[in-house]
């Protein structure tokens, strides 16, 4: 497969961002319902509200470039890992399994921060004000919710360690 450049690359970036964001939303739906730590559940529910809106935004902005959320290697790998961890957590119900699912969700959100940064640079280079503003907001929100989820994950680690 040849390297993607120009419009192909922009479409690829949107496809990946949409696919990863869909995984984020799906994971948040599951963890908001099943996470054993109530404060983590609340943080995830708060993130979910925003992340559903960002998914719609990504779909709208991506459609301008022909992107539909096609799942490629990176997004597919992350999505598969997320699904595997969620299924194990729900079937076995162990704290360690929920901890791992929470950690994978945090990694998905951090991946989205990287995507937002790339989109922001592309938007600025193309003088696309709408995309620039959306990417700035998306990046800011991903940083904010990632920080909250990271704090909850650290607290959960302490709780598990205490037994």
Is the residue at 17 inside a domain? yes
Is the residue at 1 inside a domain? no
Is the residue at 158 inside a domain? yes
Is the residue at 58 inside a domain? yes
Look at the chain and report how many structural domains it folds into: 1
pTM across the whole model: 0.93
The model's pLDDT over 34-57, given as tens digits with 9 standing for 90+, comes to: 999 999 999 999 999 999 999 999
Q: How confident is the model at residue 4 (pLDDT cuts 50, 70, 90)?
A: confident
Q: Which long-range contacts (CB under 8 A, 24 or more apart) does 85-94 make?
A: 86/27, 86/30, 86/31, 89/34, 90/30, 90/34, 93/36
At 89, which CATH number?
1.20.1260.10
Q: Which domain holds residue 25?
A: 6-162
């Amino acid at each position: 497969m040849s390297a993607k450049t120009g419009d192909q690359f922009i479409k690829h970036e949107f496809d990946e961002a949409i696919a990863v964001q869909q995984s984020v939303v799906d994971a948040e739906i599951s963890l908001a319902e099943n996470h054993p730590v109530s404060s983590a559940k609340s943080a995830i529910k708060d993130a979910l509200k925003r992340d559903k809106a960002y998914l719609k935004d990504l779909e709208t902005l991506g459609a301008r470039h022909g992107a539909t959320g096609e799942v490629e290697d990176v997004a597919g790998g992350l999505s598969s890992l997320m699904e595997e961890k969620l299924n194990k957590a729900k079937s076995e119900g162990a704290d360690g399994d929920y901890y791992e699912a929470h950690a994978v969700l945090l990694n998905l959100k951090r991946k989205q921060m990287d995507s937002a940064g790339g989109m922001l640079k592309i938007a600025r280079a193309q003088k696309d004000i709408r995309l620039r503003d959306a990417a700035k907001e998306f990046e800011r929100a991903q940083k904010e919710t990632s920080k909250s989820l990271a704090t909850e994950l650290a607290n959960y680690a302490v709780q598990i360690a205490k037994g």
